[in-house]
Structure 1
């Protein structure tokens, strides 16, 4: 009975989140409440038992990074860099597009994707308006660059944070395995942007001169706060890189960074905390509990058994599984928000690992078995990049299009799909090539 009730709660919650009939945070919290109220998962299990509980490492890492970014954004540094890039490109729109895309990807390697687009999209709209250009090429490229950059590091996006936390991967594991993949994909992405939009991005000379006349240094609102923020960020990022050698979790390093920045910035905590994305954080908490419920009743185990029976994986070579995971997660990400998708697939892959790896090994040795690692990298690439294909595939997409519409540049669902689907397919094909070459041909 509990199996079907839990599965029903999961499917109904999933359906409402996809349809956007109700706010996803409300749906996740209702689903979590029902799971506990109906005793499918107890409150103690949901809060404290490692196998089913809320992943507090993820929650506090997000809270802390939101605090740091919120304080840093008050300095105006992001707007400064955007205007400076436009001037470095001498007002030439194609080079502005390439620079903005690169900046978005770079920022997204250590900032939340949603935060990155919230900062850069208004500036892109401003520059497109000044140059009298259609902002669509800028917005589309920034959406995709945010997911590309976010895929490259442990802290770039929720999917990677969740994978790292569940199977105990380090910051450098992601740098070594995913950053080369993203650089490979990003190079071809820029070439494709040039082919798609190069001839269309033409501006009048007076508009170009107008951009060159903007004083970017006036964008910096608080130099003292900027120096303090960069100093803290300069300690936090290396902390993430060496967290395994320091024997500290990424969340602990982020908490220390956020706490010290709050102290030295002299910002009032209630002002900073009020501006955090609490709905996103509560969505994560509710989602963890809902997924914990279906793990407990055995739904994930049944799905795992079904996948094993269908693919028939061989412990000596998991290439077919890697490809299925890559393409399935990419396809599912086009309609399912990647956090709920990754939270559902991680336990499925973990359970599958136990069926093909020697059972006498401990949990970490099982999930980090050499034959399993390409599966995790395939999952990260598929989940992070697949969401680019549709306007509802990721929160960054939804927010970007909403900002464009508010600024008077509505982008239709159809127009987005015409460009985004081919670009996303290109990214997944290139990811497929990378996984195949690196782990099954060269075997690095």
Structure 2
């Protein structure tokens, strides 16, 4: 009975988020409140459980990086990068998009994808303003590139960290097995952008000439703060990359970096926290509680186990089903709790095959979850963050605007991942 109620609450919340009749933060809080009110989950499971509770690592990673970005914004560095990018693209909209998505994907392989979009979004707004371009297509393309690029490494996407822990996989394992495919996917994605966002590429020679005449160095307003901010950011990035050695969670690293930056500079606490996307953080908390209700009642577990049973011990069938089922489910629920729920089942499946044969199942799970996160506006953490930033800057991106592009990108990328897994491992 409770499982049915949990499903009804989640589906109703999902419909409200998709139709945008009610603000998504209010929907998430309302859904979470109903889950708690009806004892589908409780405070213990919602606030303290690693399996079904709020993922505080995600919340505090976002908070820490939002503070760092807030401090950096006061130096003028984002204006600098915006002018530099516009000049290198010579004001050509499509060339600019390719430059931004490649930069985003590359950064997402070293940073996590949420951190990357937090850094690239301010640049996007500034450069689009200079060239009188709509920022929404560029933001959507960038967040999709971040999800694709983040697939390449252990630290690039939060689900990869969970998979690495469960599967005893190293940073180099992800690099060797997934990075070659990601390079191919990014090449295809850049070509896909030319068709998907063709209506957004309107070239204005006059504005392009004005941008070419700008001197980017002149927009830096505080060089000392810039040096301090970049130094802290470099240390934070290094700690992300060295996670397998240092064993500090990214959330801890981000909070320490944010605290150090605020304490060691003249930036006030009020200014540093003023740019934090609080509605986005609250939305995540509510979403985690709702998904936790599905976990607690066994809904997600039953779906995952049914998918595993359907393969009947055939490795090829298991990998393909896992790839496509993960992509489909990650489009509906955030891929972090999905992977957390699915990884124990995959671990059991992997042990059923001799040697390293079963390892392909981990790559199928990673590709399905990471690439499937592009399908809808709430499929991945980076998507939600970008929607929050866009709304704050007066350029709201609707659920369906994102999803109509996301579904195409997901279908194409997962379709390309299918022969890659089959030919390389099966």
Report the TM-score range of the alignment, normalised by the length of the smaller protein: 0.7 to 0.9
> 2:126 — aligned with what?
123
Q: Distance in 2 between matches of 1:422 and 1:2?
A: 35
TM-score scaled to structure 1, two decimals?
0.77
> 1:370 — aligned with what?
359
> 1:23 — aligned with what?
23
Deviations 1:181-213 (CA, angstroms, capped at 9, x unpaired): 322211233345568889996857655432210
Query: 1:372/1:262 Cα in 2 relative to 1: closer, same or farther (>3 Å)?
Result: same
> 1:297 — aligned with what?
297
Question: Are the counterparts in 1 of residues 80 and 220 from structure 2 also a CA contact under 8 Å?
Answer: yes
Q: Distance in 2 between matches of 1:202 and 1:37?
A: 51
In the TM superposition, what are the counterparts of 1:50-129 in structure 2 within 5 Å? 50-109=50-109, 110=111, 112=114, 114-116=117-119, 118-129=121-132
- Alpha-carbon offset, residue 269 of structure 1: 1.8
- Alpha-carbon offset, residue 239 of structure 1: 0.9
In the TM superposition, what are the counterparts of 1:137-156 in structure 2 within 5 Å? 138=138, 141-153=141-153, 156=156
Q: Which of 299, 320, 324 is matched with 1:323 structurally?
A: 320
TM-score scaled to structure 2, two decimals?
0.80
In the TM superposition, what are the counterparts of 1:34-433 in structure 2 within 5 Å? 34-109=34-109, 110=111, 112=114, 114-116=117-119, 118-129=121-132, 138=138, 141-153=141-153, 156=156, 159-160=159-160, 174-193=174-193, 206-314=206-314, 317=315, 319-331=316-328, 336=332, 340-343=333-336, 345-350=338-343, 352-353=345-346, 356=349, 370-387=359-376, 394-395=383-384, 398=387, 417=404, 422-433=408-419
Query: 1:92/1:239 Cα in 2 relative to 1: closer, same or farther (>3 Å)?
Result: same
Question: Are the counterparts in 1 of residues 16 and 22 from structure 2 also a CA contact under 8 Å?
Answer: yes
Q: Secondary structure at the match of 1:428?
A: helix
Q: Distance in 2 between matches of 1:295 and 1:197?
A: 38
Q: Distance in 2 between matches of 1:169 and 1:288?
A: 26
Gaps in structure 2 of 5+ consecutive residues: 353-357
Q: Distance in 2 between matches of 1:412 and 1:285?
A: 19
- Alpha-carbon offset, residue 228 of structure 1: 0.7
Q: Distance in 1 between matches of 2:299 and 2:398?
A: 39
Q: Distance in 2 between matches of 1:199 and 1:12?
A: 34
Q: Secondary structure at the match of 1:311?
A: coil
Question: Are the counterparts in 2 of residues 341 and 383 from structure 1 also a CA contact under 8 Å?
Answer: no
Q: Secondary structure at the match of 2:61?
A: helix
Query: 1:171/1:207 Cα in 2 relative to 1: closer, same or farther (>3 Å)?
Result: same
Gaps in structure 1 of 5+ consecutive residues: 360-368
- Alpha-carbon offset, residue 401 of structure 1: 7.6
